[in-house]
Chains A and B, each alone.
Chain A
Amino acid sequence: MDPSDAELVRHAQGGDIECFNELVRRHQERVYGTLYHMTANHEDANDLAQETFIKAWHALGSFKGESGFYTWVYRIAVNKTLNFLKQRRNRTPQMSLNDLDQNAEHDPDLVALVSEHTPRRDAGLAELQEHLNAAMLKLSEVHRMVVTFHDIQGLPHEEIARIMDCNVGTVRSRLYYARQQLQGLLSDYLK
């Protein structure tokens, strides 16, 4: 039976770096995913993900276990991302991860989206992805973050509120506003 996060954290706090390695393995994909959807750039997401876990290792002594390890790591990632994005406002982000995995072509939802029922049936997956990413980048950082956590990564409102250090009502209203904006920006693909 695999040890829990809490057990791994306890060992890691005692200096066991292999236990920390296991924690990184468990949460790397979701942390990376959040950072990628926020920055829309693989290199930036990679750097920020590494910095997040390195900072987590050095700050592990201050982790009291009041929240889950992944909530705590997410908080570090969120703060790093928001600081990074504030600095990056002056330059236009370059999308760097335009390849979809092979499952995308077989996803029934996506097939439906590019099927003959859509007014833009000539649009392929790549074009759809390009427009979607451009629309995401037009959202403010906090709105993009809520959409990323909820609609892409499937986190519940309460968890998002803990990560973003705000109340559930704020999460819901941000999500509502972000979706409204996205619907306006992607109206061609949603009719």
Chain B
Amino acid sequence: MDSILPEHERLLRLLALKRHEVPPPGYFDRFADRVVLHIKAGQVPAPEPWWARLREWLVTEPALAGSYAMLVTGGLFFALSVYHLSDRGASPGLISPHHFGAVAAMPGPATDAAAKRDLEKIQFRLQPEVVTNRTNPRTGR
């Protein structure tokens, strides 16, 4: 007789099996008391830290999190390109590390005088060598 029942009737009978799945004996005798104990102990579900909430959000809303990550990355690239462009244009408002190098190498009045003195010393030291190396093209001495 069972075999002549429509399939959905048989499915409903099969699903009825789930009603017999029960927790361990005595489980419900203590359940309500445990809940009340938790409440009395003030065991409010503790607010999760921000990183746990972020992790949960990343797991539950992957598409949204992906879009957000792309937006942040795009913003970062945009900021970097603006920075480089302004650096090339030597905008006075922006100071790059190259500016520091350029300022250090720039000759000023004090460095000019020192450089002249160094040059004179070098020339003075070179002079005798130039004289001793001088030979008479006719005698070869």
Contact = CB atoms under 8 A, between A and B. Distances in A.
Interface of A: 17, 20-22, 24-25, 28-29, 32, 36-37, 42, 45-46, 49-51, 53-55, 57-58, 83, 86-87, 89-90, 97, 99-101, 103-104, 107, 109-110, 112-113, 115, 117-118, 125, 128-129, 132, 136, 147-148, 151-152, 179, 182-183, 186, 189-191
Interface band, chain B: 35 or more
B59 A129 contact: no
Nearest to B38: A54
B38 A104 contact: no
Given A97-B22, A129-B17, A189-B10, 10 more contacts: A37-B18, A50-B34, A54-B43, A97-B23, A110-B16, A113-B13, A125-B17, A151-B12, A179-B11, A183-B11
A101 B21 CA distance: 6
Interface in B34-89: 34-36, 38-40, 43-45, 56, 59-60
B132 interface: no
Contacts of B36: 17, 20-21, 24
Interface stretch (B25-33, B93-101, B122-130): B25-33
Contacts of A113: 2, 10, 13-14, 17
Interface string B98-129: 00000000000000000000000000000000
Nearest 9 A-B pairs (CB), nearest first?
A104-B20, A24-B32, A109-B13, A100-B20, A117-B2, A112-B2, A151-B15, A86-B60, A53-B35
Contacts, number: 127
Contacts of A115: 2
Nearest to B39: A57
B8 interface: yes
A25 B27 CA distance: 12
Contacts of B11: 179, 182-183, 186, 190
B45 A54 contact: yes
B138 interface: no
